[in-house]
Structure 1
Amino acid sequence: MKIGLDTLGGDFAPNSTILGAIEAQKMLAEDHRIVLIGDEADAKKRIQEAGIDPALFDYVHAPENIGMHEHPTKAITQKPNSSIAKGFDLLKDGHLDSFASAGNTGAMLVGSMFSVKTVPGVLRPAIATNVPKLKSGFGILLDVGANADCKPEMLNQFALLGSLYSQYVYGVENPKVGLLNIGEEEEKGNILTIATYPLLKANTKINFIGNAEGRDLFTDHADVYVCDGYTGNVVLKLAESFYVVTKKKGFEDDFFGRFDYERYGGSPILGINAPVLIGHGISTPEAIKNMVLFSRDMIQSKFIDRIKSAFN
């Protein structure tokens, strides 16, 4: 197994990415290798300084970095030696089994779309995130930023992608799918949700339970919540602020603790032909470690094969 990691992506890279990779490596099997993509000499130096044998890792030299504010499409094409561009080349050619980065989100989406490409039949990929449930565990929310504007057919596919993800990666049997809306009645909502509802209702591949309101998000009402990327990103950023506020107030609680992005490491791009994870720009070594371990779990779940089968 080859797990690709962009060592240059993120606000605290390469220090946080290298330290996170070191911690993740300790928890991997012998035949699982982390491939560090970035400045090879610098990576080896940092690993040696941490008292670790650099031979425990594989390396691909990619000295250029795509900054957080660079135009994604231009950067991918104009910086072929960047860590993100190199990572997707390796993933496309089968030299990696997964690729993860805490770098430019737009570049990760562009790389996914034009390199490994979407699974045949998938209209648009979606980014999924975890939302904690009050009692225990968490649900899945998608899309949270890949598609600000959506068509009903896209939300219908997001529902299936999220359901497969919940079932085969997290082991939720027959996950309940809810359409995030402003009311529980079928006729409620805007043009998009009103048109989406009958598609979800007729979709025999999912367990659709109807509309879900914002107040349902952290309950057992559903296991998968579907929305357009604009709405999902607003919800995600609001949810992240819960954790920040509780920490600033000195409030310790298991429920709010499960909002901590470090626990999950990264968010997967669903609907493409290989496991790709996007980490938070402010990822710490702990977050990087968990992103690498989650990459392993995504590979072992054979989730991509499940998507291909469902959309074939």
Structure 2
Amino acid sequence: MRIALDAMGGDFAPEAIVKGALLATEQLDSNFEILLIGKEDVIKSLLLEYGYTGSGIKVINATQVIEMGEHPTKALTQKPDSSIAVGYGMLKAQKADAFCSAGNTGAMLVGAMFSVKAIEGIMRPSIAGLVPKLKGGFGLILDVGANADCKPDVLEQFGEIGYVYAKHVLEIDNPKVGLMNLGEEEGKGTVNTQAAYQRLKANQKINFIGNIEGRDLFNDKADVIVCDGYTGNIILKMAESIYDILNEKSMHDPFFDRFNYEAEGGSPILGINGNAIIGHGVSSPVAICNMVLQAQKMVASDFPEHLKNHFAEE
């Protein structure tokens, strides 16, 4: 298994990325290879500095870097040898089984759409977030930022995409799908969510349990939480802030510690012909390590193939 990692992406790159890759090699067996993409001389110098002598890391040269504030489409067009462009090129050519980056989020999304592209039948790929559950394990919320406005048919597809991910990657038997709304009753919500409810209710491919409210986020009412990217991003950032506040006040609890973005390392892009994960811009070595391990789990589950089969069914 080959996992490509953008060594130049993130606020603390390349040092944090290289250190994270080294942490990941300690947990991966000899069948895994991490492909560090970026400025070869810089990466090799860091590997030497950190005393790495193993064979689990290979350096792939990329002479350009897409900075965090650059326009995604322009940057990818003008910087074809950037670490993100090279990473997606390797994913498309099947020279890598997954691609991870803590770099420019927009470039990661645009790169996915222009290289590996969306799976046939999927209207809008989504960014998903992992939600810790009070009784253990994780649920999934999507979208969390890729699609601010979503029509009912797109929200319905998010339910299907999330169902397949929860079943095959999170290994939840017949995942429960809920629609985030401002009330549990069927008639609640906006015109879009009311229409989405009816589509999800009629969908025989998923286990739709109806509307859920914000208070149901962390309980076991739903394993998959469907919402537009505007709502999902607010929820995700609020959860991160809860952890930050508790941490600042030196208040620690095993459940709330799982709100830390480092726990899973990144958010997968779902609905594309490949495995890609976007990490937090301020990713630490621990977060990078966990992002690589999450990618390993996605690859091992063969998630894109399961999704293709799901949408190929009539």
- Fold shared by both chains (TM-score > 0.5): yes
* Deviating 4+ runs (over 6 angstroms): none
Structure 2 residue matching 1:63: 3-state secondary structure: coil
Structure 1 Cα separation of the partners of residues 135 and 276 of structure 2 = 30
- Provide the rounded CA distance (Å) in 1 between the counterparts of 2:144 and 2:150: 12
CA drift of 1:56 comes to 3.4
- Shift of residue 55 of structure 1? 4.2
Cα distance, 1:138 vs structure 2:
2.2
Q: Confirm or deny: 8 A CA contact 1:132 1:258 kept in the other structure.
A: yes
Q: Which runs of 5+ in 1 are unaligned?
A: none
Cross-structure match for 1:147: 147
Name the CA distance, whole Å, in 2 between partners of 1:14 and 1:59: 13
- 2:36 is aligned to 36
Which TM-score applies when normalising by structure 1? Answer: 0.98
CA distance in 2, matches of 1:284, 1:272: 26
Contact 2:138/2:170 (<8 A) preserved:
no
RMSD (Å), alpha carbons: 0.9
Which residue of 2 is the match for residue 22 of structure 1? Answer: 22
Which one-letter code corresponds to 1:227 in the other structure? C
Which residue of 2 is the match for residue 289 of structure 1?
Answer: 289
Partner of 1:59: 59
Q: Which runs of 5+ in 2 are unaligned?
A: none
Q: Which residue of 2 aligns with 1:50?
A: 50
Indicate the residue corresponding to 1:274 in structure 2.
Answer: 274
Instruction: Report the alpha carbon displacement of residue 140 of structure 1 after superposing the two structures with TM.
Output: 0.7
CA distance in 1, matches of 2:147, 2:64: 28
Determine the structure 2 residue equivalent to 1:131: 131
Residues 109-128 of structure 1 aligned to structure 2 (within 5 Å):
109-128=109-128
More off after superposition, 231-240 vs 130-139: 130-139
How many pairs does the alignment contain?
312
Could you say what secondary structure the match of 1:116 adopts?
coil
Matched, 1:245 2:219: no
Q: 1:182 matched to which residue of 2?
A: 182
Equivalent residue, structure 2, for 1:76? 76
- Name the CA distance, whole Å, in 2 between partners of 1:54 and 1:115: 31
Quick check: 1:166–1:224 contact (8 Å CA) kept in 2?
yes
What SS does the corresponding residue of 2:293 show, helix, strand or coil? helix
SS in 2 for 1:278: strand
Identity of aligned residues (%): 56
Does the 8 A contact of 2:69 with 2:104 survive in 1?
A: yes
Partners of 1:91 and 1:183 in 2: CA distance: 42
